[in-house]
């Protein structure tokens, strides 16, 4: 029986394989064994899940099917939040969340690569942070500014591939619209809490 999780994993894979022309995507794909066992997880909601409707409108032609599938099945997914209001304030917590599709704690079990989706509401800054794992993001919606290392913020659009090397600071800042992005992690502890750099001590 095909579950909504199988469907989401297949759509994630299709989209990622469509971007295999990008060397970093090709490289991550080589590490993913798609025959992953499903993991039964209780669904968990976040306040920001209503943002997903708008992200479907904002998605590109290529990313809309994946964004729409995620929005349609949002209530069956286990959404998470790494940060609390004590970290970045209540507004952040109300406008932020992620779901791990596969990884050490996701809807599918994978010890090598973790992947999922991040949603951020409008007017949110996810400040400088870093982690050991190497990371790929592909924004499924445009209009968010991204920065890495010492570089300035730069606007990124849907279907762009954003690569964060191990332990290099990176940050995102949404504008007037929400962000939906897919992410992949590998090469480090796959459930590690990021270290926040900006104006804060190491966590
Ligand atoms: Fe990151």
Span from the CA of 1 to the centroid of ligand 1 (angstroms): 34
Predicted local distance difference test score (pLDDT) of residue 59: 97
**CA pair distance 159, 144, nearest whole angstrom:** 12
Give residue 170 CA to ligand 1 midpoint distance, Å.
7
Q: What is the mean pLDDT of residues 102-115?
A: 98
Ligand 1 mean position, distance from CA 149 (Å): 12
Query: What is the whole-number distance in angstroms between the Cα of residue 72 and the centre of ligand 1?
Result: 26
Find the Cα–Cα–Cα–Cα dihedral 158, 154, 188, 78, rounded to 10°: -50
Cα 71 to ligand 1 centre (Å): 23
The pLDDT confidence band at residue 179, using thresholds 50, 70 and 90, is very high
- The pair of structure tokens assigned to 96 is 């932020």
Q: Ligand 1 mean position to 130 CA, how many Å?
A: 6
> Quick one: pLDDT at residue 203?
38
Of 147, 144, 137, 145, which is closest to residue 181 (Cα–Cα)?
Answer: 137
Domain boundaries, the chain: 4-186
Ligand 1 centre distance from Cα of residue 53 (Å): 24
pLDDT digit string (tens) for 114-147? 999 999 999 999 999 999 999 999 999 999 999 9
Rounded to the nearest angstrom, the distance between the alpha carbon of 36 and the centre of ligand 1 is 23
- Determine the distance separating the centroid of ligand 1 and the alpha carbon of 23, expressed in angstroms: 19
Residue 199, pLDDT score: 54
Q: What is the number of alpha carbons within 13 Å of residue 90 lying toward its C-beta? A: 0
CATH of 4-186, one of 3.50.50.60, 3.20.20.70, 3.90.1170.50, 2.60.120.10: 2.60.120.10
Ligand 1 centroid to residue 16 C-alpha, Å: 18
Distance 161 CA to ligand 1 centre (A): 13
- How deeply is 112 buried, as exposed, middle or buried, from its count of CB atoms within 10 A (0-12, 13-18, 19+)? middle
Is the confidence at residue 201, as pLDDT, over 60?
A: no
Per-residue pLDDT tens over the stretch 52-95 = 999 999 999 999 999 999 999 999 999 999 999 999 999 999 99
Q: Is the pLDDT of residue 202 over 80?
A: no
For residue 198, pLDDT beyond 70: no
Residues 65 and 125: their CA atoms lie apart, in Å, by 27
Q: How far is the CA of 133 from the centre of ligand 1 (A)?
A: 8
Distance from the CA of 145 to the center of ligand 1, in angstroms?
14
Ligand 1 centroid from CA 138, angstroms:
12
């Amino acid at each position: 029986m095909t579950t909504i999780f199988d469907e989401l994993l297949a759509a994630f894979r299709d989209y990622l394989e469509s971007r295999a022309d990008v060397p970093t995507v090709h490289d991550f794909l080589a590490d993913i064994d798609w025959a992953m066992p499903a993991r039964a997880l209780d669904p968990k909601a976040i306040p920001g899940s209503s943002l997903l409707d708008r992200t479907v409108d904002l998605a590109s032609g290529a990313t809309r099917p994946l964004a729409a599938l995620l929005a349609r099945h949002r209530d069956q997914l286990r959404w998470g939040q790494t940060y609390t209001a004590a970290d970045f304030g209540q507004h952040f917590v109300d406008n932020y969340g992620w779901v791990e599709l596969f990884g050490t704690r996701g809807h599918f079990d994978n010890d090598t690569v973790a992947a999922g989706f991040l949603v951020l509401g409008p007017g949110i800054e996810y400040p400088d942070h870093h982690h050991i794992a190497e990371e790929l993001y592909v924004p499924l919606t445009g209009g968010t500014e991204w920065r890495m290392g010492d570089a300035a913020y730069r606007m990124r659009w849907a279907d762009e591939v954003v690569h964060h090397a191990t332990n290099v600071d990176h940050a995102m800042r949404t504008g007037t619209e929400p962000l939906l992005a897919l992410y992949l992690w590998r090469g480090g502890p796959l459930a590690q809490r990021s270290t926040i750099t900006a104006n804060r001590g190491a966590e």
